């Protein structure tokens, strides 16, 4: 019988490269051998089944929409069974440019994961951001995951990543 191992994937999409860079930093800071990093542009739905922990990175684009590769994949994404999987999120957005749709992308993905049976980890306080509305806010009023604003608060990025990585390592016991 095949041995089931703890396997982790960081799956991200990025149009202009900011989310890709944040993904690379998170990868370095998590620093465990089992972690795979995959661009959603190159993924098939069945590949999701290989992992029991998923970290999904998405920037919000076009006023409350998913980034293009996530958008293309979204129909397939909605068919994935997340039962038994732990899923975390990180989202990039521009709080001053798009204050009514700030990091909506993480909320759009998180709703699917919840509906399809996944367990969400890595909730993040919404303090230190200035916006009106966000689908990225969970019912507990926390963000569904780490929120990074490279357009306006790039100086806080590294500190935020450090804190979140420490938090999820504890939550996941990795
Ligand atoms: C045309 C356009 C639309 C955007 N729409 C949103 C939005 O609705 N909400 C938001 O929070 N950020 C929005 N952003 C900001 C991007 O999410 C942000 O710049 C992000 O860092 C881009 O990530 P990427 O370089 O990985 O593609 C938008 C940016 C552009 C250029």
Per-residue pLDDT of the chain (174 residues; tens, 9 = 90+): 444 456 999 999 999 999 999 999 999 999 998 999 999 999 999 999 999 999 999 999 999 999 999 999 999 999 999 999 999 999 999 999 999 999 999 999 999 999 999 999 999 999 999 999 999 999 999 999 999 999 999 999 999 999 999 999 999 999
Provide φ and ψ at 136, rounded to 5°.
-75, -5
- Alpha-carbon torsion (41, 44, 45, 50), positive or negative: negative
At 3 the pLDDT is 45
Which amino acids bring their CB within 6 angstroms of ligand 1? Answer: 14-19, 59-64, 67, 92-94, 98, 101-104, 150-151
Whole-structure pTM value? 0.97
CA of residue 167 to ligand 1 center, whole Å: 26
Fold for 8-13+27-50+62-99+111-172, please state it: Rossmann fold (3.40.50)
Annotate 140-162 with b (16+ C-beta within 10 A) or e (fewer): eebbbbbbbbbeebeeebeebbe
Environment class of residue 129 by beta-carbon count within 10 Å: exposed (0-12), middle (13-18) or buried (19+)?
A: buried
CA 114 to chain centre: 14
């Amino acid at each position: 019988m095949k041995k089931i191992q703890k396997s982790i994937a960081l799956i991200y999409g990025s149009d202009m490269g900011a989310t890709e860079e944040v993904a690379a930093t998170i990868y370095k800071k998590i620093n465990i051998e089992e972690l795979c990093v995959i661009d959603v542009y190159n993924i098939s739905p069945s590949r999701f089944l290989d992992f029991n922990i998923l970290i999904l990175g998405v920037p919000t684009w076009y006023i409350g929409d998913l980034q293009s590769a996530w958008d293309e994949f979204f129909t397939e994404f909605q068919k994935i069974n997340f039962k038994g999987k732990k899923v975390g999120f990180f989202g990039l957005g521009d709080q001053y440019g798009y204050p009514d749709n700030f990091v909506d992308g993480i909320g759009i993905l998180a709703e699917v994961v919840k509906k399809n049976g996944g367990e969400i980890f890595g909730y993040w306080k919404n303090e230190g951001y200035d916006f009106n509305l966000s689908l990225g806010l969970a019912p507990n009023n926390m963000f569904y995951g780490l929120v990074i604003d490279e357009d306006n608060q790039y100086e806080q990025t590294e500190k935020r990543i450090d804190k979140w990585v420490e938090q999820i390592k504890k939550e996941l016991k990795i």
